[in-house]
């Protein structure tokens, strides 16, 4: 009988189909992150390994799992996996792209609105001293209608953000390695701009690129200087896409209006100093943390594991 090791609690949408397989399924039920030693022990006899995207699967762990044939990453990214080591062993790797695009896009818009209308600050005020009276100049924020949103990376998430931003009356520009056709741009109501130009004109800059060597510190000190002193940086992509030390300096020196971060360069740690800034919103990597998205992700993994045991082609192989 084959062993399936699942390194974190998962929805029943993933577990129920596995019960029909001729396999022994072990789920690590603790909510605390699994340690490398625990993961190595759990994967030692596994033919299938399921891990959340926050769990590194190193070459050392792969080497200690001689029966391993399939790694399923519970997440769209794969920067936590030693892909070269897996491929050298002939281990198939799958992930869960696409299905969480709407959830991440909704959070992106939520962060833009929360920052613009100072919602976290208002909540803290009301939990403390409260306010004295309605006044014409009290607690002013900004409307986002008519503002320019610059989207860095117009994949599934970026396109969903663009559609929502358009519905809210924002002007949308985008940058990625290759511009879309004129017809596609017209259908999405977006306009291509070189990255430097996008940074210079955008009121909000939202990051939606994968973490690959070419995007590490894509937003660094030099790029932050190009942004308007009133603009806001939104990162719901991967933490190391932003040089957080440079971001902190830019915010402290008022080179930038603010930031909203859902991911962090040294996750789960937050760069010292960011928490003290009132113009920064911090959320705990909840981009696709919706029941709908996590169930859809679980369904993709379950379908791939069932397909593997039935000797059928897998979807979303990396």
Q: DSSP letter at 275? A: G
Does residue 285 carry a catalytic annotation? yes
Does residue 177 carry a catalytic annotation? no
Three-class secondary structure of residue 265 per DSSP: coil
How many Cα atoms within 13 Å fall on the side-chain side of residue 9?
Answer: 4
Distances (CA, A) of 170 to 71, 102, 190, 257, 278: 41, 18, 10, 18, 25
Q: Exactly one of 13, 117, 216, 285 is catalytic; which is it?
A: 285
**String of DSSP letters for 211-246:** --GGGTTSB-HHHHHHS-TT-EEEE-S-GGGB-HHH
Q: Exactly one of 118, 171, 208, 238 is catalytic; which is it?
A: 238
Q: Is the dihedral of CA 176, 179, 180, 185 positive or negative?
A: positive
Q: Exactly one of 143, 267, 292, 315 is catalytic; which is it?
A: 267
Does residue 238 carry a catalytic annotation? yes
Smallest CA-to-CA distance from 266 within 290, 248, 254, 288 is with 248
Catalytic amino acids? Answer: 238, 267, 285
């Amino acid at each position: 009988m084959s062993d399936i090791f699942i390194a974190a609690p998962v929805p029943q949408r993933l577990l129920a189909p596995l019960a029909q397989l001729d396999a022994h399924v072990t789920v690590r039920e603790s909510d605390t992150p699994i340690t490398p030693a625990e993961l190595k022990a759990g994967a030692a006899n596994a033919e299938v390994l399921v891990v959340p995207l926050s769990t590194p699967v190193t070459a050392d762990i792969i080497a200690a799992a001689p029966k391993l044939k399939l790694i399923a990453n519970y997440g769209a990214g794969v920067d936590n996996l030693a892909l070269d080591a897996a491929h050298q062993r002939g281990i198939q790797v799958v992930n869960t792209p696409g299905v969480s695009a709407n959830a991440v896009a909704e959070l992106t818009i939520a962060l833009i609105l929360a920052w613009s209308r100072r919602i976290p600050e208002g909540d803290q005020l009301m939990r403390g001293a409260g306010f004295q009276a309605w006044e014409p100049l009290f607690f002013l924020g900004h409307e986002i209608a008519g503002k320019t949103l610059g989207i860095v990376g117009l994949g599934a998430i970026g396109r969903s953000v663009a559609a929502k931003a358009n519905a809210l009356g924002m002007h949308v520009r985008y940058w990625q390695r290759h511009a879309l056709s004129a017809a596609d741009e017209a259908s999405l109501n977006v306009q291509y701009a070189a990255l430097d130009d996008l940074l210079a004109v955008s009121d909000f800059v939202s990051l939606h690129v994968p973490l690959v060597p070419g995007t590490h510190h894509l937003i660094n000190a030099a790029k932050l200087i190009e942004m308007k002193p009133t603009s806001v940086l939104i990162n719901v992509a991967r933490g190391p896409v932003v040089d957080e030390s440079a971001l902190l300096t830019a915010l402290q020196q008022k080179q930038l209006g603010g930031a909203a971060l859902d991911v962090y360069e040294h996750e789960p740690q937050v760069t010292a100093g960011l928490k003290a800034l009132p113009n920064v919103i911090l959320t705990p990597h909840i981009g696709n943390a919706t029941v709908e998205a996590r169930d859809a992700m679980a369904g993709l993994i379950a379908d791939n594991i069932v397909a593997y045991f039935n000797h059928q082609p897998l979807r979303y192989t990396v």
